[in-house]
Amino acid sequence: MIALVRGALSRERVVRVRLSETIEAIIYDRPGVWMSDTELAELRAQLRTVADAAIPGPLDYGVFSAQRAPFENRLVVIGRHLGSGDITGFNAMPTLSVKLGPRTVNVLHLGLVAIHPAYQRQGMQGLLYGLGGFSALHRIPDDPVWISNVTEVPAIFGAVSDHFVDVYPSYRHAREAPPEHLDLARAIVAHHRHEFGVGAEATFDEQRFVIQGSYTGGSDALKKTADQAPRYRDPACNEYCRAQLDYGRGDDFIQLGKMDRSVITNFLERRIPAPFRPQAARQMKLWQYPARKT
Protein backbone atom coordinates (compact mmCIF):
# COMPACT_ATOMS: atom_id res chain seq x y z
CA MET A 1 0.00 0.00 0.00
CA ILE A 2 2.91 2.35 0.74
CA ALA A 3 4.39 1.60 -2.68
CA LEU A 4 0.99 2.22 -4.25
CA VAL A 5 0.68 5.70 -2.76
CA ARG A 6 4.30 6.57 -3.52
CA GLY A 7 3.69 5.58 -7.14
CA ALA A 8 0.55 7.70 -7.24
CA LEU A 9 2.59 10.71 -6.08
CA SER A 10 5.07 10.49 -8.95
CA ARG A 11 4.91 13.18 -11.61
CA GLU A 12 6.44 10.98 -14.32
CA ARG A 13 4.30 10.42 -17.39
CA VAL A 14 4.61 6.62 -17.01
CA VAL A 15 4.65 5.08 -13.54
CA ARG A 16 4.66 1.37 -12.63
CA VAL A 17 3.29 0.21 -9.28
CA ARG A 18 3.05 -3.33 -7.95
CA LEU A 19 -0.47 -4.01 -6.68
CA SER A 20 0.22 -7.61 -5.64
CA GLU A 21 2.71 -10.40 -6.23
CA THR A 22 1.22 -10.99 -9.68
CA ILE A 23 -0.42 -7.70 -10.73
CA GLU A 24 1.29 -4.49 -11.81
CA ALA A 25 -0.43 -1.18 -12.48
CA ILE A 26 0.85 1.25 -15.11
CA ILE A 27 -0.17 4.92 -14.93
CA TYR A 28 -0.11 6.92 -18.17
CA ASP A 29 -0.48 10.68 -17.73
CA ARG A 30 -2.20 12.27 -20.77
CA PRO A 31 -0.75 9.75 -23.25
CA GLY A 32 -2.41 11.51 -26.19
CA VAL A 33 0.01 14.40 -25.70
CA TRP A 34 3.22 12.39 -26.07
CA MET A 35 2.58 8.86 -27.38
CA SER A 36 3.19 7.99 -31.01
CA ASP A 37 0.26 6.84 -33.15
CA THR A 38 1.48 3.25 -32.86
CA GLU A 39 1.82 3.39 -29.08
CA LEU A 40 -1.58 5.00 -28.69
CA ALA A 41 -3.23 2.40 -30.91
CA GLU A 42 -1.69 -0.36 -28.78
CA LEU A 43 -2.95 1.25 -25.56
CA ARG A 44 -6.43 1.69 -27.05
CA ALA A 45 -6.43 -1.98 -28.08
CA GLN A 46 -5.53 -3.02 -24.53
CA LEU A 47 -8.45 -1.04 -23.12
CA ARG A 48 -10.81 -2.45 -25.73
CA THR A 49 -9.74 -6.02 -24.91
CA VAL A 50 -10.93 -5.55 -21.33
CA ALA A 51 -14.10 -3.68 -22.35
CA ASP A 52 -15.05 -6.34 -24.90
CA ALA A 53 -14.77 -9.01 -22.20
CA ALA A 54 -16.46 -7.08 -19.39
CA ILE A 55 -19.18 -5.04 -21.13
CA PRO A 56 -22.05 -6.62 -23.12
CA GLY A 57 -21.77 -4.48 -26.21
CA PRO A 58 -19.53 -2.01 -28.07
CA LEU A 59 -18.61 1.43 -26.74
CA ASP A 60 -17.95 4.36 -29.08
CA TYR A 61 -16.92 7.35 -27.00
CA GLY A 62 -13.88 8.61 -25.15
CA VAL A 63 -10.91 6.25 -25.26
CA PHE A 64 -12.88 3.84 -27.47
CA SER A 65 -13.20 6.32 -30.32
CA ALA A 66 -10.55 6.54 -33.03
CA GLN A 67 -9.51 10.03 -31.94
CA ARG A 68 -6.39 11.15 -30.11
CA ALA A 69 -8.15 13.96 -28.20
CA PRO A 70 -9.73 11.76 -25.47
CA PHE A 71 -6.25 10.64 -24.43
CA GLU A 72 -4.95 14.20 -24.17
CA ASN A 73 -6.82 15.04 -20.97
CA ARG A 74 -6.98 11.60 -19.34
CA LEU A 75 -5.04 9.75 -16.72
CA VAL A 76 -5.15 6.10 -17.81
CA VAL A 77 -4.33 3.31 -15.35
CA ILE A 78 -4.13 -0.29 -16.52
CA GLY A 79 -3.58 -3.46 -14.51
CA ARG A 80 -1.34 -6.15 -16.02
CA HIS A 81 -0.68 -9.73 -14.93
CA LEU A 82 3.08 -10.11 -14.66
CA GLY A 83 3.08 -13.78 -15.61
CA SER A 84 0.75 -13.86 -18.61
CA GLY A 85 0.89 -10.22 -19.66
CA ASP A 86 -2.93 -10.10 -19.61
CA ILE A 87 -4.55 -6.70 -19.11
CA THR A 88 -6.67 -7.22 -16.00
CA GLY A 89 -8.52 -3.91 -15.91
CA PHE A 90 -8.29 -0.19 -16.50
CA ASN A 91 -9.36 3.21 -15.22
CA ALA A 92 -9.64 6.21 -17.57
CA MET A 93 -10.18 9.54 -15.80
CA PRO A 94 -10.48 12.82 -17.76
CA THR A 95 -9.74 16.20 -16.25
CA LEU A 96 -12.41 18.64 -17.44
CA SER A 97 -11.56 22.33 -17.84
CA VAL A 98 -14.95 23.80 -16.93
CA LYS A 99 -15.64 27.45 -17.69
CA LEU A 100 -17.58 29.34 -15.02
CA GLY A 101 -17.76 32.91 -16.25
CA PRO A 102 -14.25 34.39 -16.33
CA ARG A 103 -12.60 31.51 -14.47
CA THR A 104 -11.79 27.90 -15.27
CA VAL A 105 -12.31 25.10 -12.75
CA ASN A 106 -10.46 21.80 -13.12
CA VAL A 107 -12.79 18.88 -12.44
CA LEU A 108 -11.55 15.30 -12.22
CA HIS A 109 -14.20 13.05 -13.73
CA LEU A 110 -14.11 9.62 -12.13
CA GLY A 111 -14.61 8.04 -15.53
CA LEU A 112 -14.92 4.42 -16.50
CA VAL A 113 -13.40 1.50 -14.63
CA ALA A 114 -13.63 -1.96 -16.21
CA ILE A 115 -12.24 -5.21 -14.84
CA HIS A 116 -11.73 -8.30 -16.97
CA PRO A 117 -14.15 -11.04 -15.78
CA ALA A 118 -11.22 -13.36 -14.97
CA TYR A 119 -9.96 -10.84 -12.40
CA GLN A 120 -13.19 -9.54 -10.89
CA ARG A 121 -14.02 -9.81 -7.16
CA GLN A 122 -10.36 -9.42 -6.21
CA GLY A 123 -10.46 -5.79 -5.03
CA MET A 124 -9.01 -4.53 -8.30
CA GLN A 125 -11.68 -1.89 -8.94
CA GLY A 126 -11.00 -0.08 -5.66
CA LEU A 127 -7.24 -0.17 -6.22
CA LEU A 128 -7.46 1.24 -9.75
CA TYR A 129 -9.88 3.95 -8.60
CA GLY A 130 -7.64 4.81 -5.65
CA LEU A 131 -4.44 4.80 -7.66
CA GLY A 132 -5.90 6.99 -10.39
CA GLY A 133 -7.53 9.39 -7.95
CA PHE A 134 -4.43 9.83 -5.77
CA SER A 135 -2.24 10.37 -8.83
CA ALA A 136 -4.61 12.97 -10.25
CA LEU A 137 -4.81 14.73 -6.87
CA HIS A 138 -1.04 15.15 -6.97
CA ARG A 139 -0.96 16.33 -10.59
CA ILE A 140 -3.83 18.85 -10.47
CA PRO A 141 -2.69 22.08 -8.76
CA ASP A 142 -6.03 22.82 -7.05
CA ASP A 143 -6.68 22.11 -3.37
CA PRO A 144 -9.16 20.58 -2.93
CA VAL A 145 -9.79 19.03 -6.35
CA TRP A 146 -13.35 19.02 -7.65
CA ILE A 147 -14.59 15.59 -8.77
CA SER A 148 -17.57 14.61 -10.90
CA ASN A 149 -19.30 11.27 -11.32
CA VAL A 150 -22.02 10.12 -13.71
CA THR A 151 -23.70 6.84 -12.81
CA GLU A 152 -26.88 4.82 -12.48
CA VAL A 153 -25.22 2.19 -10.27
CA PRO A 154 -26.15 2.37 -6.56
CA ALA A 155 -22.81 0.78 -5.54
CA ILE A 156 -20.92 3.62 -7.23
CA PHE A 157 -23.35 6.38 -6.24
CA GLY A 158 -23.13 5.29 -2.60
CA ALA A 159 -19.34 4.95 -2.59
CA VAL A 160 -18.91 8.47 -3.98
CA SER A 161 -21.43 9.81 -1.45
CA ASP A 162 -19.54 8.23 1.45
CA HIS A 163 -15.89 8.56 0.45
CA PHE A 164 -15.56 12.06 -0.99
CA VAL A 165 -16.13 15.51 0.53
CA ASP A 166 -19.17 17.80 0.15
CA VAL A 167 -20.88 15.53 -2.37
CA TYR A 168 -24.16 16.49 -4.02
CA PRO A 169 -26.45 14.70 -4.55
CA SER A 170 -26.04 12.12 -1.79
CA TYR A 171 -28.47 9.55 -0.47
CA ARG A 172 -27.48 10.66 3.05
CA HIS A 173 -28.55 14.30 2.88
CA ALA A 174 -31.73 16.00 1.72
CA ARG A 175 -30.75 19.56 0.81
CA GLU A 176 -30.85 22.01 -2.06
CA ALA A 177 -27.96 21.94 -4.49
CA PRO A 178 -25.15 24.29 -3.40
CA PRO A 179 -24.80 27.10 -5.97
CA GLU A 180 -21.29 26.14 -7.16
CA HIS A 181 -22.26 22.47 -7.51
CA LEU A 182 -25.22 23.53 -9.64
CA ASP A 183 -23.12 25.86 -11.80
CA LEU A 184 -20.56 23.12 -12.41
CA ALA A 185 -23.20 20.50 -13.19
CA ARG A 186 -24.88 22.81 -15.72
CA ALA A 187 -21.58 23.58 -17.44
CA ILE A 188 -20.42 19.95 -17.51
CA VAL A 189 -23.67 18.67 -18.99
CA ALA A 190 -23.76 21.53 -21.50
CA HIS A 191 -20.15 21.37 -22.71
CA HIS A 192 -18.48 18.11 -21.60
CA ARG A 193 -21.18 15.43 -21.97
CA HIS A 194 -19.23 13.75 -24.77
CA GLU A 195 -16.56 12.80 -22.22
CA PHE A 196 -18.94 10.27 -20.64
CA GLY A 197 -20.97 9.19 -23.67
CA VAL A 198 -24.09 11.34 -23.28
CA GLY A 199 -25.89 12.31 -26.48
CA ALA A 200 -27.08 15.78 -27.45
CA GLU A 201 -30.75 14.89 -26.90
CA ALA A 202 -30.31 14.06 -23.19
CA THR A 203 -31.82 16.60 -20.77
CA PHE A 204 -30.64 17.72 -17.35
CA ASP A 205 -33.11 17.78 -14.43
CA GLU A 206 -31.53 20.42 -12.18
CA GLN A 207 -33.79 19.63 -9.23
CA ARG A 208 -32.58 16.04 -8.92
CA PHE A 209 -29.18 16.29 -10.69
CA VAL A 210 -30.37 13.61 -13.10
CA ILE A 211 -29.38 13.34 -16.76
CA GLN A 212 -32.47 11.95 -18.49
CA GLY A 213 -31.88 9.56 -21.38
CA SER A 214 -28.16 9.48 -20.79
CA TYR A 215 -27.09 6.47 -22.90
CA THR A 216 -27.26 7.77 -26.46
CA GLY A 217 -23.77 9.10 -27.12
CA GLY A 218 -21.81 5.89 -27.67
CA SER A 219 -22.26 4.51 -24.15
CA ASP A 220 -25.41 2.48 -24.90
CA ALA A 221 -23.83 -0.81 -23.81
CA LEU A 222 -23.41 0.52 -20.25
CA LYS A 223 -27.15 0.98 -19.71
CA LYS A 224 -28.58 -1.31 -17.00
CA THR A 225 -31.95 -2.22 -15.63
CA ALA A 226 -32.69 -1.54 -11.99
CA ASP A 227 -32.14 -5.22 -11.23
CA GLN A 228 -28.82 -5.37 -13.10
CA ALA A 229 -27.25 -2.37 -11.36
CA PRO A 230 -25.01 -3.55 -8.48
CA ARG A 231 -26.37 -2.69 -5.03
CA TYR A 232 -24.66 -0.66 -2.31
CA ARG A 233 -24.15 -1.97 1.20
CA ASP A 234 -26.62 0.59 2.61
CA PRO A 235 -30.22 -0.21 1.54
CA ALA A 236 -31.12 3.48 1.82
CA CYS A 237 -28.85 4.21 -1.14
CA ASN A 238 -30.46 1.49 -3.25
CA GLU A 239 -33.93 2.81 -2.47
CA TYR A 240 -32.88 6.38 -3.27
CA CYS A 241 -31.54 5.40 -6.71
CA ARG A 242 -34.61 3.35 -7.56
CA ALA A 243 -36.91 6.23 -6.58
CA GLN A 244 -35.01 8.95 -8.46
CA LEU A 245 -33.93 7.21 -11.69
CA ASP A 246 -35.97 5.94 -14.63
CA TYR A 247 -33.88 2.92 -15.61
CA GLY A 248 -36.06 2.17 -18.62
CA ARG A 249 -35.31 5.60 -20.08
CA GLY A 250 -31.64 5.36 -19.12
CA ASP A 251 -31.17 8.03 -16.44
CA ASP A 252 -27.91 8.87 -14.67
CA PHE A 253 -27.08 10.95 -11.63
CA ILE A 254 -24.36 13.55 -11.97
CA GLN A 255 -22.57 14.00 -8.65
CA LEU A 256 -20.18 16.81 -7.75
CA GLY A 257 -17.85 16.74 -4.78
CA LYS A 258 -14.29 17.40 -3.67
CA MET A 259 -11.17 15.34 -3.03
CA ASP A 260 -8.51 16.35 -0.53
CA ARG A 261 -5.93 14.52 1.56
CA SER A 262 -8.56 13.36 4.03
CA VAL A 263 -9.85 11.12 1.25
CA ILE A 264 -6.41 9.49 1.08
CA THR A 265 -6.11 9.01 4.83
CA ASN A 266 -9.59 7.51 5.02
CA PHE A 267 -8.74 5.17 2.13
CA LEU A 268 -5.59 4.05 3.94
CA GLU A 269 -7.40 3.58 7.25
CA ARG A 270 -9.58 0.98 5.58
CA ARG A 271 -6.61 -0.92 4.17
CA ILE A 272 -3.58 -0.56 6.49
CA PRO A 273 -3.75 -2.43 9.82
CA ALA A 274 -3.77 -0.05 12.78
CA PRO A 275 -0.32 -1.06 14.19
CA PHE A 276 1.38 -0.10 10.92
CA ARG A 277 -0.34 3.23 10.28
CA PRO A 278 2.14 5.56 12.05
CA GLN A 279 5.09 3.89 10.30
CA ALA A 280 3.33 4.11 6.95
CA ALA A 281 2.58 7.80 7.44
CA ARG A 282 6.23 8.54 8.27
CA GLN A 283 7.53 6.59 5.28
CA MET A 284 5.18 8.30 2.84
CA LYS A 285 6.02 11.75 4.29
CA LEU A 286 2.69 13.06 3.11
CA TRP A 287 0.90 14.34 6.17
CA GLN A 288 0.63 14.02 9.92
CA TYR A 289 -1.45 10.89 10.33
CA PRO A 290 -4.55 11.73 12.39
CA ALA A 291 -4.45 10.37 15.93
CA ARG A 292 -7.12 7.82 16.73
CA LYS A 293 -9.40 8.57 19.65
CA THR A 294 -8.94 6.31 22.67
- What is the pairing mode between strands 103-109 and 145-151? parallel
Query: Is the per-residue pLDDT at 283 higher than 50?
Result: no
Tell me the three state secondary structure of residue 140: coil
Question: What angle do helix axes 235-244 and 154-163 make, rounded to 10 degrees?
Answer: 120
Residue-wise pLDDT tens digits, 159-205: 999 999 999 999 998 899 999 999 999 999 999 999 999 999 999 99
Model pLDDT, residue 143: 83
Lowest mean pLDDT among 5-19, 51-65, 132-146, 274-288: 274-288
Question: Which domains are present in the chain?
Answer: 1-141 (3.40.630.30), 143-271 (no CATH)
Query: What Cα–Cα distance (Å) separates residue 85 from each residue in 28, 81, 142?
Result: 17, 5, 36
Tell me the three state secondary structure of residue 78: strand
Three-point CA angle 210, 215, 216, nearest 5°:
120
- Higher pLDDT residue, 223 or 3? 223
Distance of CA 98 to the CA centre of its chain: 17
- Higher pLDDT residue, 267 or 81? 81
CA distance 140 to 121: 31
Model pLDDT, residue 140: 86
Query: What number of residues does the chain have?
Result: 294
Does pTM top 0.85 for this prediction?
yes
pLDDT confidence bin for 273, thresholds 50/70/90: low
**If we measure between CA atoms, which residue out of 199, 202, 271 comes closest to residue 1?**
271
The stretch 243-267 carries a mean pLDDT of: 89
The stretch 2-12 carries a mean pLDDT of: 60
CA distance 159 to 234: 10
Check whether the bond before 144 is cis (ω within 30° of 0): yes
Residue-wise pLDDT tens digits, 86-120: 999 999 999 999 999 899 999 999 989 999 999 99
